[in-house]
Amino acid sequence: MFLKELSLTNYKNFESLKFSFDTKIICFVGLNGVGKTNILDSIYHLSYTKSYFNPIPSQNIKHGETFFFISGKYMIDDKEENILVSLKKGDKKIIKRNNKLYKKFSDHIGKIPLVLISPDDRNLIIEGSETRRKFIDGIISQTDKEYLNNLIDYNKTLKQRNALLKMFYDNSENIRKTIDIYDRQLSSDAQKIYDKRREFLNEFIPIFKSRYKELSNDKENVEIKHSSDISPDQNLYKLLKNSLEKDLRFQYTTKGIHKDDLNLNLDNFPIKKYGSQGQQKTFLIAMKLAQFDYLSKLDSKPILLLDDIFDKLDDTRVKQIINLVNQEKFNQIFISDTNKTRSENTIKKVNKSYKIFEI
């Protein structure tokens, strides 16, 4: 997989911008605030149908304009593929592949595999469980369409059940007669999602540990543990029945796989509380490189985006990443940095063709 051309119109801070790429490594350099990260985010947008940094679609339109437009031309299996993402204020976002409109955005997920490593990844450690669920859901969904559909169905049913709880919170007798259908559907989808998450983590965690070992020179013991309301011996249907009175009080569903979390530990303690900044950065990069490894089992290896990491990591960790890039058969790598000299000196250590764009 290879991104040959990228075109932006009214995307974030750019009125119009166009690039042609013919090298394995591409670096965007410039001062803070010129939009280097926005360029990487546009490439992410073409893969995931949304921004990595701003989930509100209309806020990705340049100030004072009424629409944005992102176009990417790829070479995939020796065939040229054109991906288009556009949004006009007041309308729904449009995604096209080779001029054919997607009816469901979920049909595009996994077509252009991609991994982004960014300083914002720290949210995986410091924020709530939803961020970590989205991380694993995003990986699995790129490789398993059935999982993505189960997840969409689960969230739709969950929304309907929560609406019902709010409607009948003062009449529990009425709700008991109608909520069972939602409980059964939620339980069915939840079991499939739970089983797939456990299967994924059984494969992902050893890869992550191996990556952390390479980055840290095997100094610490790290662990990722799956926390869930359900288990092989506990199905969601029974939990929903037992928690109905509580759900009515709170007016939302308090049990389910939408509450799943990942416990990120360093030497048996939460890395959020006990890990140094350097250890947390290493933990996160190991997670993202493990994501790359896992997605590499697809037909095309992912594109790798490295956002401002040279400025945020010490020389030892940068060197480790460069060594890994040299060892692996990476496809394309896009880098953003504030320092052209540093970028060029670092990239020269990688035995691959490169080009630097000054923004």
DSSP 8-class letter at 259:
G
In a domain, 119, yes or no: no
Helix axes 315-327, 180-216, angle to 10 degrees: 100
Look up residue 175 and give its two tokens. 């709700």
Q: Would the pLDDT of 204 be above 90?
A: yes
* Predicted local confidence at residue 301, as pLDDT: 83
Together in a domain, 236 and 148:
yes
Together in a domain, 181 and 230:
yes
Average per-residue pLDDT for the chain: 90
Residue 243 binned pLDDT confidence (cut-offs 50, 70, 90): very high
The closest of 185, 141, 133, 177 to 159, measured between CA atoms, is: 185
Q: Would the pLDDT of 217 be above 80?
A: no
In a domain, 105, yes or no: yes
Together in a domain, 342 and 243:
no
* Predicted local confidence at residue 348, as pLDDT: 82
Domain end among 253, 277, 297: 297
Domain count for the chain, please give it.
2
Together in a domain, 197 and 79:
no
In a domain, 118, yes or no: no
Together in a domain, 199 and 243:
yes
* Predicted local confidence at residue 169, as pLDDT: 64
Domain end among 276, 297, 318: 297
Query: CATH code at 323?
Result: 3.40.50.300
* Predicted local confidence at residue 59, as pLDDT: 93
User: Looking at per-residue confidence, does 61 or 173 come out higher?
Assistant: 61
- Neighbour tally for 6: CB within 10 Å: 21
% residues pLDDT > 70 (the chain): 94
In a domain, 14, yes or no: yes
Q: Would the pLDDT of 327 be above 70?
A: no
Question: Tokens 């610490």, residue?
Answer: 220
User: What's the N-to-C CA distance of the chain in angstroms?
Assistant: 25
Together in a domain, 238 and 283:
yes
Find the range with the poorest average confidence among 20-34, 45-59, 161-175, 243-257: 161-175
The alpha-helical segments, DSSP class H, found in the chain are: 36-48, 123-126, 129-143, 145-167, 172-178, 180-216, 236-242, 244-250, 271-274, 277-295, 309-312, 315-327, 340-347
Together in a domain, 137 and 277:
yes
In a domain, 359, yes or no: yes
Together in a domain, 131 and 227:
yes
Q: Would the pLDDT of 174 be above 80?
A: no
Report, as an integer, the average pLDDT of 30-48: 95
Domain end among 297, 323, 346: 297
CB contact set of 79 (below 8 Å; sequence gap of 6+): none
Together in a domain, 238 and 266:
yes
Q: Would the pLDDT of 328 be above 90?
A: no
User: Looking at per-residue confidence, does 77 or 359 come out higher?
Assistant: 359
In a domain, 74, yes or no: yes
CB 291, CB 200: distance < 8 Å: no
Q: Would the pLDDT of 225 be above 90?
A: yes
Find the range with the poorest average confidence among 225-229, 230-234, 320-324: 320-324
Residue 281 binned pLDDT confidence (cut-offs 50, 70, 90): confident
Together in a domain, 1 and 62:
yes
Together in a domain, 214 and 355:
no
pTM listed for this prediction:
0.89
The closest of 282, 289, 311 to 216, measured between CA atoms, is: 282
Look up residue 173 and give its two tokens. 């007798």
In a domain, 40, yes or no: yes
Q: Would the pLDDT of 8 be above 80?
A: yes
Question: Tokens 């969601």, residue?
Answer: 236
Together in a domain, 254 and 221:
yes
Q: Would the pLDDT of 26 be above 90?
A: yes
Q: Would the pLDDT of 172 be above 70?
A: no
Single-letter residue type at 209: K
Q: Which domain holds residue 76?
A: 1-113+305-359
CB 123, CB 131: distance < 8 Å: yes
CB 74, CB 108: distance < 8 Å: no
Query: CATH code at 137?
Result: 1.20.1050.90
Lateral strand order in the sheet of 261-266: 222-227, 261-266, 269-270
